[in-house]
């Protein structure tokens, strides 16, 4: 539980602003005129019933989709068409709803892959794996080992991640995102398919990341208990529209949110 | 009760497997004994089909070990070169999931660029022919392959990203015909001679007297094998231990995840096609030096197919082992069993080997077994 006087009330700078974003696929409207912002240092939850457009929103933020209307401003800069690797370069990392890992590679290599952008040595030195390339490899390996310790996954360092159970794969995926040292971390259902104990661990990691590294986090989650405990502010989407936005306890009492989740008597 | 029940439950599976193997081994041993007995008693002799197929070749191997060594050496050289061609396919297939039908023509195109640039440098620009001009032409040819990789990414791959595999395959078929036409237009359709000596590659041969006979070794073959081995080692190392190598493997595993950590697919594709282009250039030099540099060389790419079937489309060690198996297999088959069928079985025997393997391991020797949780 977070004390109410945490960043919620302290006005952080706006890290990312979504303004009037709409997204359509042919005739289907996934998002309609959605606006909200994410402030630096907060944990922002995006919730809503299935098909509400939560993942589409995340995909827009990190450049997998391009909004048909509206704009997204990140760190004060608006880019009309952002490619995913540009988003990554700008400091946006993410995890996926149904884990997207490099299944043939070990845990260590997966997390090292998250350092790709931080490594700068030239093609030539890499070919020799000597000089700058070697120093760089060692230096980044140290960061990765810290992340591995932090997530308590030392015992699976060398195992190809395809062989790991689902809960651990989710943790490796979080590790890979952390390796990018992101300013904004997008988590798409980080606790889906987990048991109670794994959910507890994951919640702890998310809070630790937020508090120790000051990383801003936007997460999609279905488990209401988790959302209410973790997040500072919540956006609620339904059928691609925003129906509520505010502190968890406010959102919980909102009649439209209750209707969206429980249905309305006609 | 429970303790004794558990092993009893596990045992039948193991037993059945073991029994099957024992029966198979027993059967083979019984057949061999019967065969030896038949040969000893004179029931099967020279001229009998069974004798010619099952006994005679092995007798020859033991009686003339020098011929066996010669055959094995030729098989080794052929195998290493097949591995090199297969490697070109594997690189591109791994990173982009595209079966590159144009790999064969890239070999020809690379070799033609090299020889063509050498001609331009020496004839039109008046450079003295020799190593300097040859090396300049080599650098130029590498540049051409880079340009090709860049163009392919820009014009073919980028607009077709996320399309069906069959569409990508057709695109590479189209690329093949474009390169044939473009190559003929620029370099002409006549066969050219590879600038083997100018590149500093050895010619000639040595004889070794061993095992009571004489083994003939072409110097070019030695060089080809060495260069191919170094090339394969460098590529393997690069893939395993460097950042770009890791990025390549990452792209091969999941495009989505690779994008999310900031790997640019476009950049990786250029690198992969360039690497495949350099492999094609080396292959072109080696094969071109053994015959001519002409468009007929394109069909050697077909030789890579059985290698890929053996080794799996996604495995570099698979390409190497597959290449060696095909190389050894076809040379030995040609020399010892070929005469029974009137010779020339080398051209199709590779496919027989590949077919036999497919029956037992559909995913190839080292191919990824696809395991999915349901």
pLDDT class of A217 with cuts at 50, 70, 90: very high
- Residue B12 tokens, joined: 């039948």
CA-CA distance, A177 to A62, in Å (whole number)?
Answer: 13
Per DSSP bridges, beta strands B213-218 and B205-210 are antiparallel
When CB atoms are compared, the residue of A112, A121, A180 closest to B262 is: A180
- What residue in A sits closest to B265 (Cα-Cα)? A85
- Asked if residue B144 has pLDDT above 90, the reply is yes
The pLDDT value recorded for residue B368 is 59
The alpha carbon of residue B26 is apart from the nearest alpha carbon of chain A, in Å, by: 37
- What residue in A sits closest to B257 (Cα-Cα)? A100
State the distance between the two ends of chain B, measured CA to CA, in whole angstroms. 34
- Residue B358 tokens, joined: 């497919």
Cβ contact B78:B72 at 8 Å: no
Residues of B in contact with A162 (CB under 8 A): 371
- Residue-wise pLDDT for A149-161, tens only, equals 888 888 888 888 8
- Is the Cβ pair B261, A123 closer than 8 Å? no
With CA atoms as reference, report the closest residue to B80 among B326, B291, B364, B288. Answer: B326
- Residue-wise pLDDT for A77-109, tens only, equals 887 777 888 888 888 898 988 888 888 788 888
Lowest mean pLDDT, pick from A120-129, B116-125, B247-256 = A120-129
Mutation target vs B (from A59, A66, A84; most B CBs, 10 A cutoff): A84
User: Which string of b and e fits A89-125 if b means at least 16 CB within 10 Å?
Assistant: ebbbbbbbeebbbbbbbbbbbbbbbbbbbebebeeeb
- Asked if residue A166 has pLDDT above 70, the reply is yes
Cβ contact B139:B155 at 8 Å: no
Residues of B in contact with A91 (CB under 8 A): none
With CA atoms as reference, report the closest residue to B267 among A89, A96, A95. Answer: A89
Residue B299 carries which DSSP code? G
- Is the Cβ pair B256, A96 closer than 8 Å? yes
CA distances from A115 to A103, A112, A144, A175, B236 (A): 17, 5, 8, 11, 21
When CB atoms are compared, the residue of A84, A94, A113 closest to B246 is: A113
The pLDDT value recorded for residue A7 is 37
ipTM of predicted complex? 0.77
- Is the Cβ pair B244, A94 closer than 8 Å? no
The alpha carbon of residue A117 is apart from the nearest alpha carbon of chain B, in Å, by: 6
CA-CA distance, B177 to A259, in Å (whole number)?
Answer: 62
The pLDDT value recorded for residue A132 is 63
- Residue-wise pLDDT for A40-61, tens only, equals 889 999 988 888 888 888 888 8
DSSP A65-93: S--SEEEEEETTEE-SS--HHHHHHHTEE
Cβ contact B276:B106 at 8 Å: yes
Cβ contact A49:A261 at 8 Å: yes
């Amino acid at each position: 539980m977070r004390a109410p006087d945490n960043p919620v009330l302290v006005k952080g700078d706006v890290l990312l602003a979504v303004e009037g974003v709409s997204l359509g696929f042919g005739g289907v409207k996934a998002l309609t005129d959605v606006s909200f912002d994410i402030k630096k240092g907060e944990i922002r939850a995006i919730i809503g019933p299935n098909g509400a457009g939560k993942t589409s929103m995340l995909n827009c933020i990190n450049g997998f989709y391009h909004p048909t209307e509206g704009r997204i401003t990140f760190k004060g800069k608006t880019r009309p068409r952002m490619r995913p690797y540009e988003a990554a370069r700008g400091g946006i990392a993410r995890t996926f709803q149904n884990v997207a890992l490099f299944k043939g590679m070990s845990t260590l290599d997966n997390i090292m892959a998250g350092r790709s952008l931080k490594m700068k040595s030239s093609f030539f030195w890499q070919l020799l794996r000597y000089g700058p390339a070697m120093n760089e490899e060692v230096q980044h390996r140290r960061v990765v080992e810290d992340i591995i310790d932090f997530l308590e996954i030392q015992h699976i360092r060398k195992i190809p991640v395809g062989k790991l159970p689902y809960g651990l794969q989710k943790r490796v995926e979080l590790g890979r995102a952390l390796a990018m040292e992101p300013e904004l971390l997008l988590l798409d259902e980080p606790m889906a398919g987990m048991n109670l104990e794994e959910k507890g661990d994951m919640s702890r990691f998310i809070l630790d990341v937020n508090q120790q590294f000051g990383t801003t986090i936007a997460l999609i989650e279905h488990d209401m208990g988790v959302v209410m405990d973790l997040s500072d502010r919540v956006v609620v989407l339904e059928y691609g529209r925003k129906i509520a936005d505010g502190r968890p306890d406010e959102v919980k009492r909102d009649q439209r949110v209750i209707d969206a989740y429980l249905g309305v008597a006609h | 009760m429970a303790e004794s029940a558990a092993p009893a439950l596990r045992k039948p599976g193991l037993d059945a497997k073991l029994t099957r193997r024992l029966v198979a081994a027993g059967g083979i041993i019984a057949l061999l004994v019967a065969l030896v007995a038949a040969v000893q008693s004179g029931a099967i002799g020279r001229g009998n089909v069974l004798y010619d197929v099952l006994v005679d070749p092995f007798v020859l191997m033991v009686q003339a070990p020098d011929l066996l060594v010669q055959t094995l050496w030729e098989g080794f050289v052929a195998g290493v070169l097949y591995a090199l061609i297969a490697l070109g396919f594997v690189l591109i297939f791994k990173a982009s999931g595209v079966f590159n039908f144009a790999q064969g023509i890239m070999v020809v195109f690379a070799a033609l660029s090299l020889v063509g640039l050498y001609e331009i440098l020496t004839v039109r620009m008046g450079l003295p022919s020799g190593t300097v001009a040859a090396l300049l032409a080599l650098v130029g040819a590498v540049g051409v392959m880079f340009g090709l990789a860049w163009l392919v990414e820009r014009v073919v791959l980028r607009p077709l990203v996320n399309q069906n595999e069959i569409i990508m395959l057709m695109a590479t078929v189209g690329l093949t015909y474009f390169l044939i036409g473009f190559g003929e237009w620029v370099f002409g359709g006549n066969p050219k001679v590879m600038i083997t000596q100018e590149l500093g590659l050895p010619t000639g041969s040595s004889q070794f007297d061993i095992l009571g006979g004489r083994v003939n070794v072409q110097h070019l073959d030695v060089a080809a094998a060495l260069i191919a081995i170094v090339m394969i080692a460098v590529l393997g190392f690069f893939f395993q231990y460097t950042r770009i190598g890791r990025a390549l493997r990452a792209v091969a595993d999941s495009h989505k995840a690779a994008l999310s950590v900031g790997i640019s697919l476009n950049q990786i594709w250029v690198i992969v096609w360039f690497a495949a282009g350099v492999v094609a250039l080396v292959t072109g030099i080696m094969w071109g030096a053994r015959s001519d540099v002409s468009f007929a060389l394109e069909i050697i790419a077909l030789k890579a197919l059985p290698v890929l079937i053996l080794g799996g489309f996604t495995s570099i060690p698979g390409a190497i082992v597959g290449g060696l198996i095909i190389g050894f297999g076809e040379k030995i088959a040609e020399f010892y069993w070929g005469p029974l069928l009137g010779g020339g079985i080398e051209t199709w025997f590779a496919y027989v080997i590949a077919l036999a393997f497919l029956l037992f391991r559909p995913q190839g020797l080292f191919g990824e077994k696809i395991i999915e949780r349901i």
